[in-house]
Amino acid sequence: MKIVLAPDKFKGSIDAISLCKQLHQEIVSLYPDAEVVSFPMADGGDGFSSIVRHYLDTSTVSAKTVDPLGRTITARYEYSEERATAYIEMAAASGLALLKPSEYNAMRTSSYGTGLLIRDAMARGARHIVLGIGGSATTDGGMGMADALGFMFLDRNEEPLDPCGESLTRVEEIVQPETDFLEDVQFTVACDVRNPFYGPNGAAYVYGPQKGATPEEVKELDEGLKKLDGAFMKYMGRSVAEEPGAGAAGGLGGACDALLGARLVSGFDHLTDIVDLEEAIAEADCVVTGEGRVDSQSFDGKVVGRVAELARKFSVKVYVICGASALTLKELNPLGVDRMVALSNEAKSIQDSIAHPEKYIPAAVKKIF
């Protein structure tokens, strides 16, 4: 029997690499003769750089930058000197996890720190930047990142705007960098979602509330993203309104596309280009995947949904072990999931399952198999 393990991390609980190790151990204890192959995965969000390091043996680099509210911090990214490629997780500088809940502020937070990390990588010699853009604290349409790279956003009085969400509705003009230092750099953006730039399914309406935006602010941010897209069309010659993934990370995906000529790809697809996951699944009897919380968004570009898609191609069974699930197995069956166990159902409390997942994984594996 061949079993493929391809889970994402359980955010705030256990990373994907450690999860694979424990799942492997528990499965082999049940089936000593089973061939168990591990592919810890990520979708472009938190944990993306550690998974890249796992597969590509990159070096970890530290750099001075700022957090979403402009405070000085040190962040890390991965760098391959051989490939002249930097792998930057935008959440390292512009992530929601860097803020206290009382500090969430979609109107004021900025992706400027992510731009500083890009500058640092370019100064190091990077000619290819791979940017993982999940887990952001921002809805600034990428203005902060672009400002750090030399772009300017002007209001109707031709005054520079503070690059944050509340400035979006006032953008009238985009001034490009004075030098052409960006021209020889290739940008790839690894997205964890497929949302468009603005509209009912766009960055503001879908993700703004979890970043602290009130209903009134969500409406203003959405109008601002639409205004910014108009400026993209006027000054860069292209709209990103309907580009899948343009709404990722508060519109950072769209800004990378319009301003940097970035290629927007699924973070999951980027990793599967590196490893032979599809080939392994094709030869498997079943695949075990999972994430911290399974819900409808799990099937919109994230690891669980993408693994299920691959498995369906080869009629391979899909088993999900997760921290918690908002969906029942009956709801998951049409989405390609054959069995599901949530650690929260095995533990005394959700908090205990998050704090000590290793205590409940053995029981979950036994139930799945």
Alpha-carbon distance 100 to 161, whole Å?
26
Percentages (nearest 5) of helix, strand, coil residues in the chain: 45, 20, 35
**Tokens coding 67:** 């957090």
Spatial separation of the C-alpha atoms in residues 153 and 228, rounded to whole Å: 10
Cα distances (Å, whole numbers) of residue 320 to 6, 100, 241, 286, 301: 10, 31, 34, 11, 16
- What gap in Å lies between CA 249 and CA 19, rounded to an integer? 26
The string of DSSP letters for 241-267 reads TT-TTTTGGGGHHHHHHHHH-PEEEEH
Which class in CATH covers the domain with range 2-39+276-368? alpha beta
Where do the structural domains in the chain lie, given as residue ranges?
A: 2-39+276-368, 48-268
pLDDT of residue 356: 96
What pLDDT sits at residue 192? 81
CATH 3.40.50.12160 given to domain 48-268? no
Q: What is the pLDDT of residue 220?
A: 98
pTM score, two decimals?
0.90
Pairwise CA distance, residues 198 & 205, whole Å? 8
Question: Cβ(134)–Cβ(43) under 8 Å?
Answer: yes
Q: What is the pLDDT of residue 46?
A: 80
Q: How would you write the pLDDT of the chain (369 residues) with one tens digit per residue?
A: 999 999 999 989 999 999 999 999 999 999 999 999 999 999 887 888 889 999 998 999 999 999 999 999 999 999 999 999 999 999 999 999 999 999 999 999 999 999 999 999 999 999 999 999 988 999 999 999 999 999 999 999 999 999 999 999 999 999 999 888 899 999 999 988 889 999 999 999 999 999 999 999 999 999 999 999 999 999 999 999 999 999 999 999 999 999 999 999 988 988 988 899 999 999 999 999 999 999 988 998 789 999 999 999 999 999 999 999 999 999 999 999 999 999 999 998 999 999 999 999 999 999 999
